[in-house]
Amino acid sequence: MRPRRSGACEPRGGLRPVLVAALLLAAFVVSGSPAAAQGSFAAGVRAGTAGLGVDLVARASDHVDFRLAAGSVSFDGTISTSELDYDAEAEVSTALLLLDWYPGAGAFRLSAGAGWNGTEVEVTAPLERLLPFDPDPLALFAPLGSAVGTAQGDELVPVVLLGWGNPFRGGRWNLSFEIGAFYQGQPEVELGVRTTLPVDQIPGGPELLATLIEEEERELERELEDYTVLPVVSLSLTYSF
């Protein structure tokens, strides 16, 4: 993996095109179903591990719904390797297209689908601890810089859920609870540096820095191996019309 000399994060695909495509797909599917004549549609809000978001539900039959579930949340934390303690800013953003199956046409449901995963973690740490020599005398005059980078999982992810609650049973207002997970694969790490050191003027400096960054990237990826599967727990309130 080639290191990036800048810590700037490259933007990923936006959420708006995904939402538009999902709504068009749901409208197409429902328009051809018997339930479409009943105007069976529900919209609501959700909150959980994937943040605050919306649910848009189209009823296809007594046993099957099509659903768009989107949400986003940001939080701060720390990630540590043997060399560095990173300040981490994580943003979890998802837009999932789901098929909800109600085996008994009641409240219990099984859901499966796939969607867009915009989850990203930005990390930063002091550069001093990464260098193979004691930088304290230099650091007395000015900070040497930072190791910065991003960690991202797969953009297209599968998801499996089970839940309790049916937006078309028991009145127009309904509460639903679900639990499950989506698989985002091994997060890919890209690290770079921001520094005032004249690295290019030091013999062997660029090569040494590139080697240190590549080693730290691999170690940070090992630290993130536990995040290939992300849990989903959410509560939603919907209104049907």
Domain coordinates of the chain in residue numbers?
16-240
The helix or strand, by DSSP H or E, that contains position 32, with its residue range, turns out to be: none
Residue pLDDT, tens place only, 16-61:
544 544 554 444 444 444 444 344 899 999 999 999 999 999 999 9
- Could you tell me if 78 and 69 are in contact, meaning their C-beta atoms sit under 8 angstroms apart? no
Range of weakest confidence among 111-120, 136-145, 176-185: 136-145
The closest alpha carbon to 223, from 179, 180, 191, 182, belongs to: 191
What is the CATH number that goes with domain 16-240? 2.40.160
| Strands in the chain per DSSP E | 41-48, 51-59, 64-80, 85-101, 108-117, 120-126, 145-152, 156-164, 173-183, 188-195, 229-240
Mean pLDDT, the chain, integer: 81
Q: Is 35 helix (H, G, I), strand (E, B) or coil?
A: helix
Sorted by sequence, the CB contacts under 8 Å of residue 234 that are 6+ apart come out as 46, 47, 48, 49, 50, 69, 71, 177, 178
Percent of the chain with pLDDT over 70: 76
Instruction: State residue 143's pLDDT score.
Output: 62
Instruction: State residue 44's pLDDT score.
Output: 96
Per-position b or e across 167-195, b if 16+ CB within 10 A of its CB: bbeeeeebebebebbbebeebebbbbbbb
pLDDT grade for 2, boundaries at 50, 70 and 90: very low
Q: How far is CA 141 from CA 80, 136, 144, 196, 198, in A?
A: 27, 9, 9, 12, 15
pLDDT grade for 133, boundaries at 50, 70 and 90: low
Q: How far is CA 154 from CA 74, 159, 196, 202, in A?
A: 18, 12, 34, 38
- Joined tokens for residue 31: 């328009």
- Could you tell me if 159 and 70 are in contact, meaning their C-beta atoms sit under 8 angstroms apart? no
pLDDT grade for 142, boundaries at 50, 70 and 90: low
